[in-house]
Structure formats: structure tokens, C-alpha cells
């Protein structure tokens, strides 16, 4: 029996194990949504309030679930509204399948109503973009899309489906894709590189590891700690690598990069062997490349060959999934002891604690509430078991610095793109992916207002996310740089904000407003004991800074305390 292309799409998605779809309908995708109507018992469909929200929600879902997130939107502005999410997913290696409607194939190139060249737009920011003009292509195109999105270094793919391909009929047979000529997502282990890496590690006096998102993507958390334990190597994490190690793990030395901890930033420039594990040496991690790790021989565990020697030259490259390459090296390294080297981190940890952390977590009674103390209070109340979602800005850096973790896959943040407005929709996706876990979203007043329409999605889905709005009435991160580097010229950063609690109440979401320190504990308890969505607005220090900080373009040893 022949079926419509739209129904073929539904069957192809089922064949890929899809259970959740985020999206927003429109004219050029109506046939697909009409077919979806008959599949509501098979898919959890989430109607977001904006197409960008659909992509970020799908990202949050993918990051927690560990499989591609799916969103379906219409053509024209519906499709172009997904661009930010696609770019974000590409930079952060998040598997995403974005399906967009398109005008009839006979109208392509005529500037028809809501026609845009989405393939041309998305080619540079996706792993694969393809336009389906015939329903006969649907089965294999979908299979290929999911294979590309989820294999190797994950990322977003785009399927642009013309309206005629949605409506015309086809003899449908599900397809499977596990091989594409010239695309090699899985590589055999280079035994010579394994041996050379083990030799460098065994001879190192001051080895150090940097843990990135690749560990979480590869589900290699246990392999990582087996490697670190055996070689006795201190490790730090990028913001995308947080929660790959428990916070209290003995070799976890904190965050590296612009707002990272002093000790790992300084020690990066002192180590003699630097072991990068599933990370790409982004500029926010390295600072000035000319001054980065000058004493180190670099070993790079990486799945994407394009990242090898791109920013930092390495002595040894180990291509492949770290779940496979790490154990290969672990089997050849010696049981070691680097006590003196590890102990040398302590003086910098003490310096940061005295100059920054203690003041942030234990401010004087007459001082305004601090970002860090709010984050740590909620972290303690959730006993390190919550999923942390952040928006972007000071709220993000404070949350990443002061939230603590016991479980893996516990952080969802926008790293490479730094997308304000990411938080609310990403938290929705994360909560749908892990409904039994507490999801805490930290956002600022600026980012909250970029996607606050997704509060409508929250109430429609009854998604019990906990939103903590750290309100300083500024675009805080920009203000911080204006204060430190632009003579306190606060151009376009003060914010005249609405009554956020009134906004939440308009959506039927429970809320509370904290202005004083003695109100915080009870407000947190009220939020966490409520199974429903909740907005906690906390008025924080307008002049607060996230420190330490490596100034843009400077070396990591030029950190401001």
C-alpha cells in the first residue's frame, strides 16, 4: 500500500527510535503535522512558542538523553528561526535533526511565499543539509540524517522537505544507514600513537589532563577515571566537560579557561605533558595561544581529525572515541604517584579561596546577595544530584563554578556559541529527557527575556523545571567587561525589567521573590518541594563580578583575582 510522504516521514522517525518531537507548524509543513495527528500515541510532541525554542529544547533533550533531538518546523521564517540552534548544536557537538517544510519543487527559485534557500544557509553550520523533493527519498534520507547526526563527532543535520514530497504517495520501506563512502566516523586505533602516548605519560613529572565534552559524548566517564587513577594525573575540565568527573573526585582540580579556577590555569603553563581528552582547545580555554602550555608536550585524544593541530600543536594524536582510546593507553601506563605535583595545586586553591570563593559564598551580612552563594545554596539543597541548565553570561559562569555534581550527564549549557536565551527551552528538553531528576535552570534577566515565551510551553507540558533568575538589572557579563576594560562606560547594559513574578503568575507558574539573605533558604525549600514549574527571582549584587578572569587575548597566567 502506498502512503503519503508525510506518513512515510512518521514511519521513518519511528524506525530511528524517535519518541519526542519539538516543533511549530506552518503552511509548508501542514501535511506533516496532519500525519502527526495520527501518531500522537507514538510520539510525545512538544509545541514550543518559537522555532528557536524548538531547537534549544531538542538540544537539551539530546544532551541528557544521549541521542539525537528532533524538531519539525515550517519554511521561510520558521526555518530561519532555527539557525541559532543549529549553529549552537554544531559548535557544541550536539546531535540534532531539524526537519523543515519547503515550497513545492515547481516553485523553487521563484521567491515564492515563505521560500528561503535553507540548504545554502545551513551548509556551513551543519554536518549535513539535504533537500528532499521526491517522497522516494524520505526513507534513506532520514536514516542517513540520523546516522550522520549521532555518529563520530555528533552534530546537527537539516532535512528540507518540499510540500509536494510531503503530499505525494510512495511505497515505503524503512531504510537503515550505517555506512557512507568517504565518511569515517569510527577509526581503528593507532597502536603506535598509543605506545608513544603511554611513554610520554610514564616519563612525565608534571602531567595534567583537560577533560572535555567528548568524554560525556563517548560515555567514557569510568574509562577516564581509571586512566587518571592509574597514572595519578590531576585533571581540569572545560565548561562542556563538567560532570564527567564528580565534583569531589580527588583528582578533579576544577575549571579551566576565562573564568576557570586559578590552580588549573596556572598549572597548565607549568605542566610537562598536557593530555587533552575530548576537547578542542577553544579560545576561551587557551587564552593567548602564544603563551599557552609553553612547557608541555601535548597528547590529544580526539574523535574529529579536523581538530588535531588546529589550535594547539600536539606531539601525539589519538583519533577515535575516547571510550576506546583511553583504555588502550591505560593498559600501557604505569601505576604512578605524583603527590608532590598534585600538592602544588593547593597554594593556588588557597589563594582563590581566600580572595574569591570565601567572599562569594560567605559575604558579610550587610552585603547584597552574591551569585555564588545562591548557586551553592541550591546545589547543597539538591545534594549534588540535580541537572544544571544555564543560560549565558555571569549566571552561567557562576553556576558552572559553584554548582556541584555526583552524577554524569548533569550539565546543559551553551559553550561554543554562548547563546543568550538558550536556558529556558534547553531546560524543558532536559526535563522531558529525565523527568525524575530535578532540573535547575540559572539565568539572568537579559537571557530570560529572550525566550520567556517558552513559559507557555512549560505550562502546556506541565514541565516541572526550577528557574532561578539571578537579577542584577544589567547585562552582567558585558557590564563586567565594561567595568574592567572600558573605564566603566556602561553603554547599553542597564536593564529596565518587568515584574518577573507577575509574568510567571500570568502563565500560572508558582513564584517567589528574594531580596534579603534571610529569605533565601525558605524560598529554595518552597521551590524544591513543589513538583510543578517554579520561578525563583533573586535580587543579586548589581556590581557583582565573576572572578577569577583571564582578560580577552591574555595568557592564562595573567588571571585577574
The whole-number average pLDDT for the span 14-19 is: 98
Burial 493-514 (b: 16+ CB within 10 A, else e): bebebeebbebbeebebebbbb
pLDDT digits (tens, 9 = 90+) for 442-470: 999 999 999 999 999 999 999 999 999 99
* Sheet (strand 235-237) strand order: 252-255, 235-237, 207-211, 273-277, 297-302, 316-319
pLDDT at 334 over 90: yes
- Vertex 474 angle, CA 468 and 476, to 5°: 75
pLDDT digits (tens, 9 = 90+) for 48-85: 999 999 999 999 999 999 999 999 999 999 999 999 99
Within 10 Å of residue 516's Cβ, how many Cβ atoms? 9
Q: Residue 254 burial (CB < 10 Å; 0-12/13-18/19+)?
A: buried
Alpha carbon distance 315, 161 (integer Å): 46
* Positions marked catalytic: 51, 113-114, 163, 477
Q: In the chain, what percentage of residues exceed pLDDT 90?
A: 99
pLDDT digits (tens, 9 = 90+) for 140-151: 999 999 999 999
Detail the DSSP E strand segments found in 114-260.
128-132, 156-162, 169-171, 207-211, 235-237, 252-255
- Vertex 293 angle, CA 232 and 305, to 5°: 85
Q: How many CA atoms lie within 13 A of 534 on its CB side?
A: 19
Helix, strand and coil percent figures for the chain, each rounded to 5: 45, 20, 40
pLDDT digits (tens, 9 = 90+) for 154-194: 999 999 999 999 999 999 999 999 999 999 999 899 999 99
Residue whose C-alpha cell is 601525539: 316
pLDDT of residue 113: 97
The whole-number average pLDDT for the span 382-402 is: 98
pLDDT digits (tens, 9 = 90+) for 208-228: 999 999 999 999 999 999 999
Alpha carbon distance 409, 219 (integer Å): 9
The whole-number average pLDDT for the span 323-330 is: 98
Q: Are 388 and 356 in contact (CB under 8 A)?
A: no
* Sheet (strand 44-47) strand order: 44-47, 20-23, 69-73, 96-102, 156-162, 128-132
pLDDT of residue 1: 78
- Vertex 242 angle, CA 236 and 246, to 5°: 85
pTM of the entire predicted model:
0.97
Q: Are 243 and 285 in contact (CB under 8 A)?
A: no
Computed over every residue of the chain, the mean pLDDT equals: 97
Amino acid at each position: 500500500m502506498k502512503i503519503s510522504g508525510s506518513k512515510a516521514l512518521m514511519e521513518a522517525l519511528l524506525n530511528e527510535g524517535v519518541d519526542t518531537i519539538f516543533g511549530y507548524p506552518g503552511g509548508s509543513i501542514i501535511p506533516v503535522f496532519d500525519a502527526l495527528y495520527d501518531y500522537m500515541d507514538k510520539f510525545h510532541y512538544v509545541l514550543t512558542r518559537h522555532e528557536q525554542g524548538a531547537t534549544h529544547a531538542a538540544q537539551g533533550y539530546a544532551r541528557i538523553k544521549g541521542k539525537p533531538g528532533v524538531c519539525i518546523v515550517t519554511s521561510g521564517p520558521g526555518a530561519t528561526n532555527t539557525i541559532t540552534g543549529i549553529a549552537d548544536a554544531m559548535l557544541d557537538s550536539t546531535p540534532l535533526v531539524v526537519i523543515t517544510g519547503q515550497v513545492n519543487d515547481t516553485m523553487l527559485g521563484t521567491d515564492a511565499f515563505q521560500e528561503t534557500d535553507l540548504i545554502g544557509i545551513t551548509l556551513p553550520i551543519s554536518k549535513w543539509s539535504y533537500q528532499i523533493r521526491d517522497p522516494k527519498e524520505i526513507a534513506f534520507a532520514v536514516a542517513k540524517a540520523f546516522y550522520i547526526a549521532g555518529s563520530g563527532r555528533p552534530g546537527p543535520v537539516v532535512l528540507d522537505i518540499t510540500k509536494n514530497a510531503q503530499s505525494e504517495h510512495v511505497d515505503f520501506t524503512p531504510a537503515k544507514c550505517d555506512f557512507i563512502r568517504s565518511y569515517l566516523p569510527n577509526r581503528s586505533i593507532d597502536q603506535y600513537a598509543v605506545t608513544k602516548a603511554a611513554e610520554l605519560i610514564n616519563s612525565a613529572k608534571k602531567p595534567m589532563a583537560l577533560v572535555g565534552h567528548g568524554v560525556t559524548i563517548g560515555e567514557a566517564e569510568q574509562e577516564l577515571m581509571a586512566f587518571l587513577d592509574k597514572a595519578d594525573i590531576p585533571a581540569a575540565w572545560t565548561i562542556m566537560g563538567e560532570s564527567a568527573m564528580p565534583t569531589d573526585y580527588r583528582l578533579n582540580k576544577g575549571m579551566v579557561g576565562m573564568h576557570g579556577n586559578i590552580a588549573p590555569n596556572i598549572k597548565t603553563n607549568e605542566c610537562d605533558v598536557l593530555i587533552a581528552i575530548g576537547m578542542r582547545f577553544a579560545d576561551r580555554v587557551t587564552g593567548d595561544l602564544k603563551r599557552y602550555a609553553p612547557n608541555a608536550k601535548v597528547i590529544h585524544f580526539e574523535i574529529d581529525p579536523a581538530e588535531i593541530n588546529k589550535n594547539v600543536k600536539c606531539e601525539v594524536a589519538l583519533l577515535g572515541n575516547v571510550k576506546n582510546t583511553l583504555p588502550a593507553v591505560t593498559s600501557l601506563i604505569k601505576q604512578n604517584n605524583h603527590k608532590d605535583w598534585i600538592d602544588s595545586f593547593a597554594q593556588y586553591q588557597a589563594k582563590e579561596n581566600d580572595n574569591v570563593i570565601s567572599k562569594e559564598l560567605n559575604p558579610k551580612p550587610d552585603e547584597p546577595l552574591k551569585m555564588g552563594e545562591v548557586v551553592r545554596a541550591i546545589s547543597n539543597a539538591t545534594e549534588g544530584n540535580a541537572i544544571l541548565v544555564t543560560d549565558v553570561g555571569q549566571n552561567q559562569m557562576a553556576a558552572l563554578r559553584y554548582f556541584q555534581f555526583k552524577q554524569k550527564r548533569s550539565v546543559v549549557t551553551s559553550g561554543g556559541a554562548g547563546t543568550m536565551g538558550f536556558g529556558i527551552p534547553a531546560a524543558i528538553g532536559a526535563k522531558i529527557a529525565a523527568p525524575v531528576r530535578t532540573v535547575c535552570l540559572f539565568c539572568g534577566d537579559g537571557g530570560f527575556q529572550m525566550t520567556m515565551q517558552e513559559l507557555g510551553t512549560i505550562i502546556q507540558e506541565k514541565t516541572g523545571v526550577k528557574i532561578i533568575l539571578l537579577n542584577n538589572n544589567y547585562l552582567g557579563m558585558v557590564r563586567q567587561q565594561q567595568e574592567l576594560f572600558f573605564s566603566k562606560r556602561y553603554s547599553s547594559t542597564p536593564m529596565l525589567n518587568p515584574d518577573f513574578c507577575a509574568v510567571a503568575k500570568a502563565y500560572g507558574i508558582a513564584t517567589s521573590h528574594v531580596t534579603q539573605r534571610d529569605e533565601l533558604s525558605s524560598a529554595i525549600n518552597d521551590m524544591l518541594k513543589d513538583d510543578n514549574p517554579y520561578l525563583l527571582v533573586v535580587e543579586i549584587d548589581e556590581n557583582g563580578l565573576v572572578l577569577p578572569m583571564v582578560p580577552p587575548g591574555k595568557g592564562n597566567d595573567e588571571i585577574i583575582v
